[in-house]
């Protein structure tokens, strides 16, 4: 059914509001007699994390069990996108009861149906327990307290594979407003006024980019959605595409009508099968409803989108490289200017925007630039989604207003460091970013403040590290990545990153010399200024920031030949303490046969022959083996 005008869109919205009626629960009204009679919705998380821990199977079993117990017409099971709280997945939420169950497994299905739906009580063991206070929560979890979900507004709230749900949740209303009540220039003005900046890393003002693209005379212009998401440890873009693909399509339509493009491309990694699947469904449904194609909603505007697949090259996230990749060639960056806004895809003016940037567009149009500009800091408006991961209790997707401190994200939302260890550093910006030490935990984070402390926003990867992480090794890890991913065009980047990696390897093997630090710093500066694209220009950041904040640790490796975190293998020395009971277990498992000692006597390790494999330490039941 093609929607021929705004009235039909609104009628469809009203007709489908019933789908969402259940899910708007202002306060905890669980199990009141009134809500008992309403049909229930079980929202099962279908994000990649929960998908990996069997959530589709849980959904299937739930449907079967409900059918068996004759509840099929009272309870509906739906699959959503990521709830953000991936650490505790698989997650499911029941509406209108306002109950969230965590770490659900297939074995829990029968109990959920019996206890929750038949007996009308909570399945206590599936509630979230705050590890610090041991308090149980059925709703309003501390994880969500400081968050503000704008880009993620529909993720976990609607079923992404049903366009009617998106439409009921104000979907395509912003498009309708843009097509019938605003001029292209007023849309661009509104986006400029909102202060929205690119979430793909650069932070370029989005409205200005649209304006620049529109200004260039051309018969054809293009809009590209950058869903390459190369930062290894970031997954917000894929989660938005999995949980709310229509919001990205709607934003592309809005961008297209504002800059004068009738064709859009979504460039996505082939490694994201679930996101691709949901996108394909969304595009198909949007075409069916006449929201993509000719004369959209009865206007003069025609627009369609096409998916283009990446093939595993980080540098293809860079906009000029991405454009070459779409053109079917090697994804190497080219010199700017000309910028894509001037000469992009097939030489035509092209606007490249990141997924998260786009997801912010429809709410800005509907609620106004002033609303959006009221959130965040002076120069960074709105919210930012972070992929919080590493040694933090609550790994997941977190959306907070710009200017929120790292401390709040890591300790309040993230629930602090795993296993009560101490915080050492947070890494933002992926391979282009830096490591932030504890003394900067209270910095309100936005684009500028992160650069000021030697890191950058990047796409929003936020990896937490504890005392057990070696900062030299982390720097080496990122350099390995850039060596792998450098496209090889510039000598400084191609050869320079290899040299950096070699020096770091030397240091972690205990073969470093003091002047290596100077060499590293000098080489870093050269690479920064003589590389063509952002990859080379920012590749030195992980080294520079760790040298600045963790110089002691470099010195320990170079001078004392020790790895304080106990990570760098060559520098480890395993030795047996007086806790040894002489059980002989370690000797039996040592692959080098270098542990000696008789039964009931303290054992000894021959350091010369030890392979530093750690097998002995793992086996000892008495904690008698330590390493330094």
Partner 1 sequence: MCDNPSTDHLFQQLDDYIDSLPYKKEDLIVILHQAQALFGYLPDKVQWHIAQKLDIPSAKVYGVVSFYSFFTMKPRGKHVANVCMGTACFVRGSEKLQAEVEKQLGIKTGQTTTDHLFSLDSVRCIGACGLAPVMTVDGKVYGRLNDPKEVEHILATYETENQISETVVH
Ligand X SMILES: Cc1cc2nc3c(=O)[nH]c(=O)nc-3n(C[C@H](O)[C@H](O)[C@H](O)COP(=O)(O)O)c2cc1C
Contact footprint for partner 1 (CB under 8 A): 47-49, 51-53, 86-87, 89, 230-235, 238-239, 270-273, 308-314, 325-332, 387, 389-391, 395-396, 427, 430, 461, 463-465, 469, 474, 477-478, 481, 487
| Cβ-Cβ contacts under 8 Å for 247 (sequence gap 6 or more) | 153, 154, 166, 171, 240, 358, 359, 362
Give me the least distance between CB of 514 and partner 1, in Å please.
Answer: 28
615 binds, among ligand SF4, ligand FES, ligand X, none (CB under 5 to 8 A by kind): ligand SF4
Q: Is residue 196 within 8 Å of residue 381, measured between CB atoms? A: yes
204 binds, among ligand FES, ligand X, partner 1, none (CB under 5 to 8 A by kind): ligand X
Rounded CA-CA distance 543/193 in Å is 37
Rounded CA-CA distance 407/452 in Å is 17
Give me the least distance between CB of 232 and ligand FES, in Å please.
Answer: 6
Rounded CA-CA distance 416/393 in Å is 6
Question: Does residue 478 belong to the site contacting ligand FES (CB under 6 A)?
Answer: no
Selected binder of ligand SF4 within 489, 501, 528, 557 (CB under 6 A): 489
Count CB-CB contacts under 10 A for residue 167: 26
Rounded CA-CA distance 590/249 in Å is 58
Give me the least distance between CB of 454 and ligand SF4, in Å please.
Answer: 20
Give the residue carrying structure tokens 């970013």. Answer: 433
Q: What angle do CA 427, 430, 435 make, to 5 degrees?
A: 25
Give me the least distance between CB of 333 and ligand X, in Å please.
Answer: 7
620 binds, among ligand X, ligand FES, ligand SF4, none (CB under 5 to 8 A by kind): ligand SF4
62-79: b (≥16 Cβ within 10 Å) or e: bbebbeeeeeeeebbbbb
Count CB-CB contacts under 10 A for residue 61: 19
Q: Which is nearer to ligand FES, 179 or 355 (CB)?
A: 355
Give me the least distance between CB of 296 and ligand FES, in Å please.
Answer: 32
Q: Which is nearer to ligand FES, 57 or 114 (CB)?
A: 57
Give me the least distance between CB of 48 and ligand FES, in Å please.
Answer: 6
Classify the phi-psi angles of 269: left when phi > 0, otherwise alpha if psi is within -120 to 50, otherwise beta.
beta
Question: Does residue 92 belong to the site contacting ligand FES (CB under 6 A)?
Answer: no
Question: Does residue 50 belong to the site contacting ligand FES (CB under 6 A)?
Answer: yes
279 binds, among ligand X, partner 1, ligand FES, none (CB under 5 to 8 A by kind): none
Position with the least CB separation from ligand SF4: 536
Q: Is residue 57 within 8 Å of residue 107, measured between CB atoms? A: no
| Cβ-Cβ contacts under 8 Å for 478 (sequence gap 6 or more) | 430, 431, 539, 542
Give me the least distance between CB of 400 and ligand FES, in Å please.
Answer: 16
Give me the least distance between CB of 139 and partner 1, in Å please.
Answer: 21
Q: Is residue 384 within 8 Å of residue 399, measured between CB atoms? A: yes
Selected binder of ligand SF4 within 241, 292, 436, 615 (CB under 6 A): 615
Residue among 121, 123, 35, 114 at smallest CA distance from 68? 114
The per-type count for the chain, helices as H runs and strands as E runs, is 27, 19
Count CB-CB contacts under 10 A for residue 480: 15
Question: Does residue 47 belong to the site contacting ligand FES (CB under 6 A)?
Answer: yes
Give me the least distance between CB of 449 and ligand SF4, in Å please.
Answer: 26
Give me the least distance between CB of 464 and partner 1, in Å please.
Answer: 8
Residue among 353, 355, 399, 365 at smallest CA distance from 194? 365
Give me the least distance between CB of 484 and ligand SF4, in Å please.
Answer: 11
Question: Does residue 520 belong to the site contacting ligand FES (CB under 6 A)?
Answer: no
Rounded CA-CA distance 4/7 in Å is 8
Q: Which is nearer to ligand X, 436 or 535 (CB)?
A: 535
10: preceding bond cis by omega (within 30 degrees): no
Q: Which is nearer to ligand SF4, 371 or 622 (CB)?
A: 622
Residue 250 in tokens: 């709607």
172 binds, among ligand FES, ligand X, partner 1, none (CB under 5 to 8 A by kind): none
83 binds, among ligand X, ligand FES, ligand SF4, none (CB under 5 to 8 A by kind): ligand FES
Question: Does residue 403 belong to the site contacting ligand FES (CB under 6 A)?
Answer: no
Q: Which is nearer to ligand X, 354 or 405 (CB)?
A: 354
Q: What angle do CA 547, 432, 562 make, to 5 degrees?
A: 30
Rounded CA-CA distance 449/534 in Å is 19
Q: Is residue 495 within 8 Å of residue 489, measured between CB atoms? A: no
Residue 545 in tokens: 């920031």
50 binds, among ligand X, ligand SF4, ligand FES, none (CB under 5 to 8 A by kind): ligand FES
Question: Does residue 612 belong to the site contacting ligand SF4 (CB under 6 A)?
Answer: yes
Chain contacts with ligand SF4 (rule: CB under 6 A): 315, 333, 486-490, 493-494, 531-533, 535-536, 574, 576, 580-586, 590-592, 594-595, 603, 605, 610-616, 619-620, 622, 624-625
Tell me which residues touch ligand FES (CB under 6 A).
Answer: 45, 47-50, 82-86, 89, 91, 232-233, 396
């Amino acid at each position: 059914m093609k929607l021929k005008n705004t009235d039909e869109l609104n009628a469809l919205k009203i007709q489908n509001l019933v789908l969402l009626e259940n899910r708007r629960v202002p306060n905890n009204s669980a199990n009141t007699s009134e809500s008992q009679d309403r049909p229930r919705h079980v929202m099962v998380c279908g994000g990649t994390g929960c998908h990996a821990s069997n959530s589709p199977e849980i959904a299937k079993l739930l449907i079967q069990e409900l059918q068996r117990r004759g509840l099929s017409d009272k309870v509906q099971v739906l699959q959503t996108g990521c709830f953000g709280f991936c650490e505790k997945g698989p997650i499911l939420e029941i509406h209108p009861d306002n109950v969230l169950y965590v770490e659900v497994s297939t074995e829990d299905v029968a109990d959920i149906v019996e206890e929750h739906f038949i007996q009308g009580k909570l399945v206590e063991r599936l509630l979230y327990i705050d590890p610090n206070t041991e308090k149980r929560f059925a709703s309003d979890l501390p994880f969500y307290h400081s968050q503000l979900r704008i880009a993620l507004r529909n993720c976990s709230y609607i079923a992404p594979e049903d366009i009617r749900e998106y439409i009921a949740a104000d979907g395509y209303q912003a498009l309708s407003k843009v097509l019938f009540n605003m001029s292209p220039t007023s849309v661009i003005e509104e986006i400029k006024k909102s202060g929205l900046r690119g979430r793909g890393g650069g932070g370029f003002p989005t409205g200005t980019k649209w304006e620049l693209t529109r200004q260039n005379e051309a018969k054809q212009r293009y809009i590209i959605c950058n869903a390459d998401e190369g930062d290894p440890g970031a997954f917000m873009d894929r989660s938005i595409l999995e949980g709310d693909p229509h919001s990205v399509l709607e934003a592309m339509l809005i961008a297209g009508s504002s800059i004068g493009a009738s064709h859009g491309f979504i460039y996505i990694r082939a490694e994201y099968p679930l996101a691709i699947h949901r996108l394909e469904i969304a595009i198909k449904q949007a075409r069916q409803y006449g929201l993509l194609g000719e004369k959209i909603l009865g206007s003069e505007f025609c627009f369609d989108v096409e998916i283009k697949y990446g093939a595993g090259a980080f540098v293809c996230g860079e906009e000029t490289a991405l454009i070459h990749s779409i053109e079917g060639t090697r994804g190497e960056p080219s010199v700017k200017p000309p910028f894509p806004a001037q000469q992009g895809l097939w030489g035509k003016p092209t606007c490249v925007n990141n997924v998260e940037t786009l997801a912010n567009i429809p709410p800005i149009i509907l609620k106004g630039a002033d609303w959006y500009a009221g959130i965040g800091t002076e120069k960074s408006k709105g919210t930012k989604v972070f992929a919080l991961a590493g040694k933090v209790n609550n790994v997941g997707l977190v959306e907070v207003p710009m200017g929120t401190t790292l401390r709040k994200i890591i300790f309040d939302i993230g629930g602090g460091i795993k296993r009560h260890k101490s915080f050492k550093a947070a890494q933002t910006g992926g391979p282009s970013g830096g490591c932030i030490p504890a003394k900067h935990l209270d910095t309100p984070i936005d684009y500028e403040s992160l650069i000021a402390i030697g890191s950058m926003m990047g796409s929003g990867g936020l990896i937490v590290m504890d005392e057990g992480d070696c900062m030299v090794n982390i720097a080496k890890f990122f350099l390995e990545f850039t060596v792998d991913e450098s496209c090889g065009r510039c000598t400084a980047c191609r050869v320079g990153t290899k040299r950096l990696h070699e020096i770091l390897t030397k240091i972690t093997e205990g073969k470093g010399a003091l002047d290596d630090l100077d060499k590293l710093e000098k080489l870093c500066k050269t690479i920064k200024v003589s590389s063509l694209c952002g990859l080379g220009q920012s590749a030195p950041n992980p080294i520079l920031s760790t040298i600045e904040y963790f110089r002691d640790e470099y010195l320990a490796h170079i001078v004392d030949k020790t790895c304080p975190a106990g990570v760098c293998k060559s520098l480890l020395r395993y030795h047996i303490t007086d806790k040894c009971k002489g059980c002989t277990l370690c000797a039996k498992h040592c692959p080098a046969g270098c542990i000696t000692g008789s039964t009931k006597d303290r054992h000894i390790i021959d350091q010369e022959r030890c392979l530093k494999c750690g097998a002995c330490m793992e086996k000892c039941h008495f904690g008698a083996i330590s390493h330094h």
